[in-house]
Every structure is written in structure tokens, then in C-alpha cells.
Structure 1
Amino acid sequence: MTYLIAQPCADVKDKACVEECPVDCIYEGERSLYIHPDECVDCGACEPVCPVEAIFYEDDAPEEWQDYRQANVEFFDELGSPGGASKLGMIERDHPLIAALPLQTRV
């Protein structure tokens, strides 16, 4: 089990969760952040600091965002497990689920 980042993060990428993560497992795509399921230690530190409430324990994600569980896993299919997001910086792609979303604007 792990945490996942869902649709509210798209085009926001506040990164408060990145700062809070003790194991550096939150990676940045072009439009969203992604939690590496094999690197996450399930500490939950990221969840309460997310200003848009986009982070969920995978079993607690709302039904409408259940597809984001698989999106967080598949984002790392090509990348593998690099052992820390900070050394990679932004990864210039997103999972197709995120890439297909209409551009979100903050108000």
C-alpha cells in the first residue's frame, strides 16, 4: 500500500509535499507530481500539507480518482526506481491520464 496523487494536483504542483517527504519519493512531471509506490514508506507526512487535498492513501482515494492509483504506478514504468526525486528534477512527461486533462487554472 502507498499514497497517490490525484487530479487536484494537475497544473498546481505546490510542492509542499515534496518538502515534507522524508524519503524523497515524490517526483515532478510536467503537469503533476507522482508518488513512487516502491519508494514511499507510507509515513503520511505529505497528505496534510497538500493545499489542494490531492494526496490520498490508495485505499482511501475517492471513487472518481481511483484511476490515479494506476497512473502513479505506470508513471514509473520507464523510469524504474531511481532512489530519489531530487537528483532528477522535473521529468518532461506525464502519465497519459494527466496529459489528457484540460489545462487547470488556479483561482
Structure 2
Amino acid sequence: MTYVIAQPCVDLKDKACVDECPVDCIYEGPRKMYINPDECVDCGACEPVCPVEAIFYEDTMPSEWAGYATADQEIFVSGGVSGGAGAAGPLPADHPVVAAEPVKEPN
């Protein structure tokens, strides 16, 4: 199991979670941050700093956002990205689950 970043992060990307992650496993996509499940050590440091409460332990993910657990897994399989977010840079595209979300206008 691992932590997952869900729908509230789409079009927000506050990035407070990135600063708290001790293993550099949170990658930036065009519209959402993603946690690499192969690099996450389940420390939970990211969860309490998220201003929109978008980070969940995979077992506690609300059912309406279950697709985000799949997105955080599949984005790394198809992209072949690993080795730390800082070295990899931003992901070139979002997972289709994220891309299908309506764009949120900034407040």
C-alpha cells in the first residue's frame, strides 16, 4: 500500500507535499501531483500538509476517487519514470483519469 493524491489536487498543485517528502517520490504532472508507489515509503509526511486534503492512504481513499489510485500507479508504468522527482522533472502528460476532469478556474 502507498499514499495517493486524489481529485482535490487537480488544477491546484500546492506542492507543500513535495517539500515534506523525505524520499522525493512526488512528481508534478501538468494538472496534478503524483506519488510514485514504488518510491513511497509510507511515512505519511505529505498527508497533513496538504491544504485541500487530497492525500489518502490507499486503503482509506474515498470510493468516488478510487480511479486516482490507479492513476498514480499507471502514470509511472507507462512513462517509465523513476529515480526521484527532482531528477526526473515534470511529467509530460497527466493520466487519462486526470485529463478527463473539468478544468478548475483559479479563484
TM-score of the superposition, structure 2-length normalised? 0.95
Decide whether the 8 Å contact of 1:7 with 1:68 is kept in 2: yes
1:51 is paired with a residue whose SS is coil
1:75 is paired with a residue whose SS is helix
Q: Which residue of 2 aligns with 1:57?
A: 57
State the one-letter code of the partner of 2:36.
H
- Identify the range of structure 1 (8-17 vs 72-81) with the bigger mean alpha-carbon deviation: 72-81
Decide whether the 8 Å contact of 1:38 with 1:81 is kept in 2: no
Q: Which has the higher helix share?
A: 2
1:27 is paired with a residue whose SS is strand
2:4 is paired with a residue whose SS is strand
Cα 1:58–1:71 change in 2 (3 A) is same
Q: Which residue of 1 aligns with 2:43?
A: 43
State the one-letter code of the partner of 1:12.
L
Task: Give the superposition deviation at 1:106.
Answer: 3.8
Decide whether the 8 Å contact of 1:39 with 1:81 is kept in 2: no
- Paired with 1:53 and 1:105, the residues of 2 have a C-alpha distance of 19
Matches within 5 A, 1:92-107: 92-107=92-107
User: Unaligned regions of 5+ residues in structure 1, if any?
Assistant: none
Q: Aligned residues, how many? A: 107
Moved over 4 A (4+): none
Identity %: 64
Q: Which residue of 1 aligns with 2:13?
A: 13
- Calculate the aligned-residue CA RMSD, in Å: 1.0
User: Unaligned regions of 5+ residues in structure 2, if any?
Assistant: none
- Paired with 1:106 and 1:53, the residues of 2 have a C-alpha distance of 18
Decide whether the 8 Å contact of 2:76 with 2:82 is kept in 1: no
TM-score of the superposition, structure 1-length normalised? 0.95
1:22 is paired with a residue whose SS is coil
2:78 is paired with a residue whose SS is coil
State the one-letter code of the partner of 2:32.
S
